[in-house]
Amino acid sequence: MKHKYKKYSFTLIEVIIAIGISTLVIGASMIILFTSKVSIFRNEAAILAETNARTAMERITNELRLSRPFRVFISNNVSVLNNLDNGSAINFQIPVGSYDPALDLTATHLLRWGCAANEDHHIAYSINADNQLVRSTYSLDDGSDAVAAIIAPDIQSLNFNRTASSSPLINVGIIAEGRGSVENATFALQSSVTLRN
């Protein structure tokens, strides 16, 4: 008696269908992976842009709040004390010793104005040629003592405005760029600062 063994194998059509389905599943997985990767790079750039803008805004507004309207000069250059209503640089003074718990007063109990440590000095915020936010301190008498520090990178635009030179309300606008490993993004931030009386 002969046993009949039935050989089970795949037909050509079944193999082609299996390859087609596998290709679709792998292709869909690759598209999802690629889309996720692009989204991660886009988010990285957006986070960098927002971080740059918020760092710049926080530093400017915290110091500017300490000043008075007649000690703030909006212009388009550092150390130029034109008082415009709109400009890309701001020059101002804060009470000397503002960051010291024992605030330094004169013998008549008046505030001395300048930067944090030097009387009669000014603080300025502007953007340099490399699109970096720069905080400068300087004396109007002698510019040789100017000190500049980079506060935030990739600041594309910096704008200050107020309705009048005596106005205690100053609007600050910043546009920052975030440079991710593949994409760049920009972030705009606006804030209003009320100066002290």
Query: For the segment 84-118, what is each residue's pLDDT rounded down to a tens digit?
Result: 788 999 998 888 766 655 555 555 557 777 776 77
In the block, tokens 């505030």 appear at: 111
| Max avg pLDDT among 3-7, 24-28, 81-85 | 24-28
| Backbone phi, psi, residue 11, to 5° | -85, 165
Q: Which long-range contacts (CB under 8 A, 24 or more apart) does 111-117 make?
A: 113/71
Share of the chain above pLDDT 70, in %: 84
| 112 Cβ neighbours under 8 A, 6+ residues apart | 95, 96, 97, 104, 105, 106, 119
The CA distances from residue 81 to 31, 114, 122, 190, in Å, are 57, 14, 10, 24
List, in sequence order, every residue forming a beta bridge with 127; answer none if it has no partner: 133
pLDDT, averaged across the chain: 84
pLDDT at 8 exceeding the cut of 70:
yes
Classify the C-alpha dihedral 52-54-59-61 as positive or negative.
Answer: positive
H or E segment to which residue 58 belongs: helix 12-64
List, in sequence order, every residue forming a beta bridge with 155; answer none if it has no partner: 176
Average confidence (pLDDT) over 161-186: 88
Q: How would you label 103-126 residue by residue, b for 16+ Cβ within 10 Å and e otherwise? A: eeeeeeeebebbbbeeeebbbbbb
| Max avg pLDDT among 39-43, 155-159, 178-182 | 155-159
Domain segments of the chain as ranges: 45-194
3-state secondary structure of 74: strand
| Backbone phi, psi, residue 31, to 5° | -65, -45
Question: Given this model, what pLDDT does residue 54 score?
Answer: 94
Question: Given this model, what pLDDT does residue 163 score?
Answer: 85
Structure tokens at 104: 């330094």
- Which of 186, 177, 189, 157 is closest to 86 using CA atoms? 157
The CA distances from residue 31 to 34, 35, 52, 167, 181, in Å, are 5, 6, 32, 55, 20
Q: How confident is the model at residue 171 (pLDDT cuts 50, 70, 90)?
A: very high
